[in-house]
Structure formats: C-alpha cells, structure tokens
Amino acid sequence: EFLWQEGHTAHATREEAVAETERMINVYSEFAEKFMALPVIKGFKSESEKFAGAVDTYSIEALMQDGKALQAGTSHFLGQNFAKAFDVQFTDKTGKLEYVWATSWGLSTRMIGALIMAHSDNHGLVLPPKLAPIQVVIIPIYKNQNEAEEISKVAISIKDGLEKNGISVKYDDRDNNTPGWKFADYELKGVPVRIAIGPRDLANKTVEIARRDTLVKKTVSVEGVNDHVLQLLEDIQKNIFSKASKFLTENTFYINTWDEFTDIIENRGGFVMAHWDGTAETEEIIKKETRATICCIPLDSPEEEGKCIYTGKPSKRRVLFARSY
C-alpha cells in the first residue's frame, strides 16, 4: 500500500528514550524544511490521537494548498509498555534484569504526496532542487543538422561544467519532440532549471535560463552559466520554502469563539489555534460536528489562560485544529 522509513530503539533509561524520541522528530522536521522546503509544526498528540500503547507521540504537521493538514512524520515514546507486553529485557550494570525503554518513529511515502500538494501549480510539479532527480535540463533549438551539432557542443560543455559542481543535468537532444513540447513536459515534471540554446544564443554566446518556481526567464552569458545556475538553485530552494511558509502563516488563525472556529473550518480551511478544555469528550464532539481534529499540541505553544471554544471551560494553552488527510 505504501512504504515506510521506520526505526525502533531500546534504551536503558527513560531519559535516553525520551531524548531519542525528541531527536528523531527534529530530524524529520529538519528534513521536511531544509530538503523538502516544507514548513511544519512540531508538537505532541492528544491522548485520543497518540499512537496506541505509546506514552507520548510527537508529530510534524504540514499544511497543504487546499487548506487541509497532513501528518508528515511521527516519533513515539513507548515507555516500557511494549517491553513488558513482549518481555523485552536487558541486564543492567548491577546484573539485574530490567525492561527496556523503547521508541518507535517513522515517515512514509505520503511525504511524496505532501511534496506534490504543498508546492505544485497549474503547470505541474514544482520540485525543490535538493530533492529533484534532474536539477537542470538543457534543450536545444535548431532548424538543421549543422545548427544541432554546433549547439550540441556548447550544451555538452555546459552539462560537463555543471556536473563537476555536483549538479544533476539532462541534455534532451531527442528529435522526435519539439522544443515547446519539451518545455511543457519538464515544467510538468517540476525540473527546477531549464536552459534553452538556439542559433541566436549561439551567435551571442548566451543561453536562456528559466526557473520552474516562478517561470521567470533570463539571458545569461555562456561563461557565467555555472555560477548563475549554482546560485539559482539555492534561490529556488529558498523561494519555495518562503512561499510555503507565507501560505502557512497566512492560513493559521487564532480564534476564541465557536462561531469563528466553525466559519474558518467550513469556509476557509487552514490551521486553527484555539483553546480546548483537555477532555476526550469535547475533542470527540468537535470532531463529530466539524470533522476537524487536534493535529497536535505545538511544542512552542505558550501557556495562555483562556476558555475552551466549545464548553467555555478553562484552558491553559491553544492547540492546533484542522481537517486532515
């Protein structure tokens, strides 16, 4: 059905296991933000939403362009619950048998779905350069064989130079598709940078470089291609993350009333930071009436006196609600 990256660890002490649980949710958060260009909210699950048998479940939550949340990775502190259930013991320094303190953590190929839903546009995929299988595609534009051969020399030289800098490059010199068809095809596939070379470029010793994230084109000298592309890939990575971060910020709402809550959930979507009285009963009623769940209790959510949006009972901090995949 889908593939997992999953890990399980066993520790001698509670402190070691908790540290490992927190370390792994930070690993997933860093991967999401630095490589996938996907901003996430780190937090821990409510009692109702945590992994069955876990003491605590940490998660990273991402916001898709349709306003729905996606749980992007989890890390579970299992305590000694599973160790006792399956009789997993070790001999400590004193020679005494003790139950291990365990963790479990993982993310799945749903992250590919997150990548697609968070960044894509009407032209197709928009892939962050750090994850793109092909970072640069070079497309020749010519009318005859002589032009093709001359352009090919320049294209191969550019390809070799970029590859020496660790960049993945494809030179698409197939003659069974037009340049325009190739442009659309590589936009659909999300290749971050496209370089086009035609007879006029050849004469001027220039190339046309287009970036996938903004579709902006620029003419660059052949001599300056290497430096320009290296910087451009960094800029694209940052811009994709910046755009997604802006979307997350603009679609995270701090509300205090039930009417505000239902209006946003029904008509706008996004993350909703609201007070909750901490009971499973209220959590279930909210879920039943709005199909919104508590994604997590953000780690950076400060203590703040307030009233539950549904019951009006006292609450000490806001939690993150959304409709989710």
Report if residue 125 sits inside a domain.
no
**Strand, helix or coil for residue 27:** helix
Report if residue 235 sits inside a domain.
yes
Report if residue 182 sits inside a domain.
yes
Statement to judge: residues 279 and 208 lie in one domain: no
Which of 119, 147, 175 corresponds to the end of one domain? 119
Which of 218, 247, 276 corresponds to the end of one domain? 247
Beta bridge pairs of residue 75: 58, 105
Statement to judge: residues 151 and 192 lie in one domain: yes
CATH (domain of 227):
3.40.50.800
Statement to judge: residues 165 and 220 lie in one domain: yes
Statement to judge: residues 190 and 224 lie in one domain: yes
Structural domain for 185, as ranges: 136-247
Residues 193-246: tens digit of each pLDDT: 999 999 999 999 999 999 999 999 999 999 999 999 999 999 999 999 999 999
Reference 294, options 273, 309, 313, 315; nearest CA is: 273
Reference 306, options 271, 269, 272, 273; nearest CA is: 273
CATH (domain of 29):
3.30.930.10
pLDDT attached to residue 1: 53
Statement to judge: residues 267 and 237 lie in one domain: no
Model confidence at 26: pLDDT above 90: yes
CATH (domain of 259):
3.30.110.30
Statement to judge: residues 147 and 86 lie in one domain: no
- Cα–Cα distance between 252 and 176 in angstroms, integer? 48
Q: Which residues contact 23 (CB under 8 A, 6 or more apart)?
A: none
Which of 216, 247, 278 corresponds to the end of one domain? 247
Domain count of the fold of the chain: 3
Statement to judge: residues 14 and 104 lie in one domain: yes
Tokens linked to 178: 């037009």
Model confidence at 2: pLDDT above 80: no
pTM: 0.93
- Cα–Cα distance between 177 and 189 in angstroms, integer? 16
pLDDT, averaged across the chain = 97
Residues 284-307: tens digit of each pLDDT: 999 999 999 999 999 999 999 999
* 124 Rama sector, left if φ>0, alpha if ψ -120 to 50, beta otherwise: left
Statement to judge: residues 170 and 108 lie in one domain: no
Statement to judge: residues 80 and 143 lie in one domain: no
Residue 122's alpha-carbon distances to 213, 214, 218, 288, in angstroms, are 12, 12, 22, 34
Statement to judge: residues 275 and 173 lie in one domain: no
Statement to judge: residues 286 and 226 lie in one domain: no
**Greatest extent of the chain over all pairs of C-alpha atoms, in Å:** 82
